[in-house]
Amino acid sequence: MTECECNPSFSRARMSELLFETYGVPSIAFGIDDVFSYKYNQKLGNCGEDGLAISCEHGTCHVVPFLKGEPVLGACCRTNVGGFHITDFLRQLLSLKYPYHSASITWEKAEELKKEHCYVALDYMSELQIFKNNKEEAEEKTRYWQLPWVPPPVEEPPSEEELARKAALKEKAGQRLRDMAAAKRSQKIAELEKQLSYLEELMEQLDGAEEEEATAILGRSGYLSQQEIKSAILKATQSLRKAKGESNGNEEKADASGVDKYPLVSVPDETLTPEQLKEKKKQILLKTTTEGRMRAKQRRAEEEALREKQEEERRLENPELYLEELRARYSELSDRVDQRKRQKLNGGKTNGNHNSSGGVGRGERLNAAQKERMRLLTSAAFDRGKGEDTFGTRDEDWLVYKKMSKDNNDDDDGNDDDESELARIASKIQDMDPTFVNKAEAVQQTPEPPKVRTLTAEDYRISIGIERFRCPEILFQPGMIGIDQAGIDEMVSISLRRLMEDEAVKERLCQSILVTGGCSLIPGMIPRLESGIRQFRPYLSTLKLVRAADPLIDAWRGAAAFAASSKFGRHTFSLADYREHGENLFHRYNIVYSL
Amino acid sequence: MESEVVKTEMVLAATFPFKKVQIADKYPKGQSRGRQWKHLRLLLQAADATSLPPDRPNYLNIQSPPSIYPPKRYCDITGFEAPYVDPRTKLRYADPEVFKQIRMLPDEYVQRYLALRNAAVVLR
């Protein structure tokens, strides 16, 4: 059974217990894997009797000196960094670098990447400089791992046929809708006509009938008076006309009906009852106001026309200047409108759906109205505590509520004026300059540029550049992952120092250094180790490093050779021995490796 | 791999002919194994108690000491040499661009970066 250097007796005892009791093995020998590997390579002639074994394993690194073919355990040295740490470091770095792909960066994949792409830099600092300053060389050294990525389906433009089919469908649907609308309209017209004829009939009846008969007819029909029937007829004719699509001539009708609307105005006062007098007053008021409105409208139209004319003249006089002026005014107005909109949106409470900045946080700015509102609310809240409550004794107090209410869109009118003016100017500029783009329209045409970029193969590509040599570097600088121990090159000098032999012996050991263990397969390991160890050796001293014949299974081969030898029986112990001595058996247990 | 393994019942086999004690007999289903982990120091003390020379190599004292070189500082994000440390996150960084990146990092990632070099704040 192979074990690590200085395996505690407890571990040996548990292992042998398991082997004896569960697997029923007849006898066991424990031996160190690095030593077996060294012995095997010694047999192959890769290293001598005296030498050093540098072994970079899965969880640890060891340096074991050999004297006369036997390991000197008192001088060996261990650092708790190994291949496991390299893989883990690589995995963590990559998953931190690509948080979106951390699911696909598995332990197995990291192991695979390590075996395939990692290398040891001969000089770590200069390699870093290359990656920092020399982009081309860095690019050359960077490897990419393309994750499985399926391009999103590209929408093909519909064929001619399909377009035609769609158009036909649309046309058909439209036709059906139109038919339905026409049917509905004709139905409505028929209904209205029927109603109208009935009402007219009713009127005729009423005209021809006596007083009592008339009230009976009225009672039957559900109308209160003749007047009401008349208005109903008027309404029916109007809606009929509308339904028939006779929209033209509306104005004249309105004018004509204007006289009819106020029948009492032209009637002298003496002939009227008090109620009618009141009615008359109301009608006069209404009439004057409508007339005033009409007049104002007319005046405005005249003004407009005048201004139009003036502008037209100026345009003809000097088109360039005119255009400039228009542009200036346009930009000014649009700025103003924009600013208003922003003010209104600011804080986002009045119309939150247009608000791009999200809800009102504590640090968010409030607009002036909102600030005032907050002030009122807080003052109201604090006044409560002042004992005597005088609120409501004065009428002005109640105005506070009005002020507090949210919807104070006082500035809307001015805003509307500006906007209409803006639209007018924009259309004018467009008339003169076809290239002009109206801002409002432009915004409407492209509502929102798509913020989400479609993912490309690039996004599914994991680049491994600096990580290629950064991860194995932890063997030489365990401090990089927070392990405060010497790196493998320094371990050699520590081991030699612990050996307490004179310089000649150390010199001899350094001429037969075997590098074994899985991590020694990382490219660049041997040159880097050599340069690292050379720093600790005297000037011009010789150094020879050899990689084991097969770093992965040489330990097993060595152990197999040991077990096959005739001396093997001397180093084993059986179940009987274990029963007799127990754990104490292992305290002094050390095999002799030399065959 | 699976089909062959399943066919030979390597995975599903409950009993192995080469084992004297089957795992199902030793640890019946549903019973806790009652395993207790002992600390390495305890194991070594138990071994030392049996009057062994104190300078005898054991698992702990063959560990290598800290490096004699001053530890180099590397950027936690890019891996380049890092002359600066962010006082807030304690992350090391190489240049201002990395610093910007650091300040954008969520706290979880900062802690993971720190954990990489065993410097994360562990709340106990």
Instruction: Give the Cα separation of A452 and A442 in Å (integer).
Output: 21
8 Å CB contact of A93 and B68: no
pLDDT computed for residue B25 by the predictor = 77
Dihedral Cα B107, B112, B115, B116, nearest 10 deg: -140
A556 has a pLDDT exceeding 90: yes
Choose the mutation target among A32, A464, A480 for the interface with B, i.e. most B CBs under 10 Å: A480
Does residue A415 have a pLDDT over 70?
A: no
Contact A482 B117 (CB under 8 A): yes
| Buried b or exposed e, range A76-92, using 16+ CB within 10 angstroms | bbbbebbbebbbbbbbb
In the predicted model, is pLDDT for residue A501 greater than 60? yes
**Distance (Å) from the C-alpha of residue A150 to the closest C-alpha of chain B?**
28
Q: To 10 degrees, what angle do helices A33-44 and A554-564 make?
A: 80
**pLDDT, position A120:** 93
pLDDT of A227 = 77
Among candidates A98, A90, A51, A57, which has minimal Cα distance to A72? A51
Identify which has the larger pLDDT, A219 or A290: A290
Closest in A128, A478, A480 to B80, CB measured: A128
| Set of chain A residues whose Cβ sits within 8 Å of the Cβ of B80 | 128, 131-132, 466
3-state DSSP: chain B helix, strand, coil percent, rounded to 5?
30, 5, 65
Cα atoms in the Cβ-side hemisphere of radius 13 Å centred on A221:
22
Provide the 3-class DSSP secondary structure of residue A308: helix
Asked if residue B105 belongs to a domain, the reply is yes
Half-sphere exposure of A549 (CA within 13 A, CB side): 18
Cβ count near A194 (within 10 Å): 11
**Stretch A108-112: mean pLDDT:** 92
pLDDT at A522: 93
A110-130 core/surface letters (b: 16 or more CB in 10 A; e: else): bbebbeebbbbbeebeebbeb
ipTM of this model? 0.83
- B103 part of a folded domain: yes
The pLDDT tens digits of the residues spanning A332-366 come to 888 887 777 766 555 444 444 444 444 444 545 55
Sign of CA pseudo-dihedral A36, A41, A45, A46: negative
Span A518-524, mean pLDDT? 92
pLDDT given at position B36 = 75
Q: Is the Cα dihedral A132, A135, A141, A143 positive or negative?
A: positive
Q: What are residue A71's DSSP bridge partners?
A: A66
Q: Among A5, A481, A583, whose Cβ lies nearest the Cβ of B62?
A: A5
CA distance A425 to A300: 18
Contact assignment for B63 to A481 by CB distance below 8 Å? no
Q: Tell me the pTM.
A: 0.59
CA proximity to A455, closest of A145, A151, A103: A151
> What band does B50 get if pLDDT is binned at 50, 70 and 90?
low
Is residue B20 situated within a structural domain?
no
Model pLDDT, residue A313: 78
pLDDT at A404 over 70: no
- In terms of pLDDT, which residue wins out, A429 or B2? A429
CB pairs under 8 A between A and B: 112
Average pLDDT, chain B: 79
pLDDT of residue A90: 93
Q: How far apart are CA A114 and CA A469, in angstroms?
A: 10
A23, A491, A583: residue with CB nearest B64: A491
Q: Do A21 and B21 touch (CB under 8 A)?
A: yes
Lowest average pLDDT, out of A57-71, A435-449, A521-535, B82-96, goes to A435-449
How far apart are the C-alpha atoms of A3 and A57, rounded to whole Å? 12
Mean pLDDT value across chain A: 79
Domain membership of residue B106 (yes or no) is: yes
Q: Average pLDDT of B88-101?
A: 90
Residue of B nearest to A587 (CA): B47
Nearest CB to B64; choose among A8, A74, A79: A79
> How much of chain A, in percent, has pLDDT values that exceed 70?
78
**What domain count does chain B have?**
1
CA distance A325 to chain B (A): 46
* Nearest-by-Cβ selection for B43 from A8, A467, A486: A8
Chain B CB contacts of A23 below 8 Å:
18-20
Q: Residue A503 pLDDT > 50, yes or no? A: yes
If you search the block for the tokens 């040499």, which residue do you land on?
B81
Is residue B89 situated within a structural domain? yes
Handedness of CA A384, A389, A394, A398 (dihedral sign): positive
Q: Which has the closest alpha carbon to A49: A553, A398, A505?
A: A505
Q: Does a structural domain hold residue B15? A: no
Q: Which amino acid is at B95?
A: D
Would you say residue A402 has pLDDT above 70? no
Residue A388 has pLDDT above 60, yes or no: no
Mean pLDDT computed over A93-115: 90
Confidence of residue A323 (pLDDT cuts 50, 70, 90): confident
| B100 occurs within a structural domain | yes
For chain A, give the percent of residues with pLDDT over 90.
27
Residue with tokens 């803006």, as numbered in its chain: A422
Residue A152's pLDDT is what?
A: 72
User: Could you tell me the residue range of the domain that residue B107 belongs to?
Assistant: 82-115
Q: Is the pLDDT of residue A544 over 70?
A: yes
Look at residue A411 in the predicted model and tell me its pLDDT. 46
Average of per-residue pLDDT across A201-228: 74
What's the pLDDT at A53?
93
Q: B33 versus A163: which is more confidently predicted?
A: A163
Q: Note the pLDDT tens digit of each residue in A144-158.
A: 888 887 777 766 666
Please give the angle made by the CA atoms of A185, A186 and A192, to the nearest 5 degrees: 90
Report how far residue A129's alpha carbon sits from residue A134's, in angstroms, rounded to the nearest whole number. Answer: 8
Model confidence at A395: pLDDT above 80: no
Closest residue on chain B to A494 (Cα): B64
